[in-house]
């Protein structure tokens, strides 16, 4: 619930506000292996332009999910960010 709230807040009031909620959740022990947490965190980081952190989060989420389709989607998002990240790097 809190995770969805974070996303809703980020849509209404910007990704930084959402990230605050997510970071507060990240310390929750019961959520350590919950794949949607890094998934959402990755998304918020990407929207804030923190691309390499975002990529790492998507990769972690892909490892945590037990669903093959979900995993493929998360890997694809990490891959897209690699491409975007290297484009940024080349711009210097």
Partner 1 sequence: MATSDIHCTIDAVWRMESAKIIAVLARIVGDVELAEDLAQDALVIALERWPEAGVPDRPGAWLMATAKHRAIDRVRRDVSLERKREELGRELEMQQGTNGAEFDATLDNDIEDDLLRLIFTACHPVLSTEARVALTLRLLGGLTTGEIARAFLVSEATIAQRIVRAKRTLAAAHVPFEVPGEADRAARLSSVLEVIYLIFNEGYAATAGDDWVRPALCEDALRLGRILAELVPNEPEAHGLVALMEIQASRLRARVGPSGEPILLFDQNRARWDQLLIRRGLAALARAEKLGGACGPYTLQAAIAACHARARTPEETDWARIAALYDALAQLTPLPRRGVEPRGRGLDGVWPGSGA
Smallest separation (angstroms) from partner 1 to the CB of 89: 19
Q: Contact residues for partner 1 (CB under 8 A)?
A: 1-5, 7-13, 25, 28, 30-31, 34, 36, 39-40, 43, 47, 66-70, 72-73, 76-77, 80
| Contact predicate 73/43, CB 8 Å | no
Smallest separation (angstroms) from partner 1 to the CB of 40: 6
Residue closer to partner 1 by CB (options 1, 90) is 1
| Contact predicate 40/22, CB 8 Å | yes
Residue closer to partner 1 by CB (options 8, 87) is 8
- Would you state the structure tokens that stand for residue 27, as one six-digit string? 């310390």
| Contact predicate 58/38, CB 8 Å | yes
Residue closer to partner 1 by CB (options 2, 89) is 2
- Would you state the structure tokens that stand for residue 47, as one six-digit string? 């929207």
Residue closer to partner 1 by CB (options 29, 92) is 29
Q: At what angle do helices 68-91 and 36-47 cross, to 10 degrees?
A: 20
């Amino acid at each position: 619930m809190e995770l969805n709230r974070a996303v809703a807040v980020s849509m209404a009031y910007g990704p930084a506000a959402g990230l605050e909620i997510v970071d507060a959740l990240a310390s929750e022990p019961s959520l350590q292996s919950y794949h949607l947490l890094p998934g959402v965190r990755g998304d918020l980081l990407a929207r804030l332009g923190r691309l390499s952190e975002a990529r790492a989060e998507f990769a972690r989420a892909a490892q945590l999910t037990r669903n093959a389709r979900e995993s493929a989607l998360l890997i694809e998002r990490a891959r897209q960010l690699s491409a975007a990240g290297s484009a940024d790097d080349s711009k210097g």
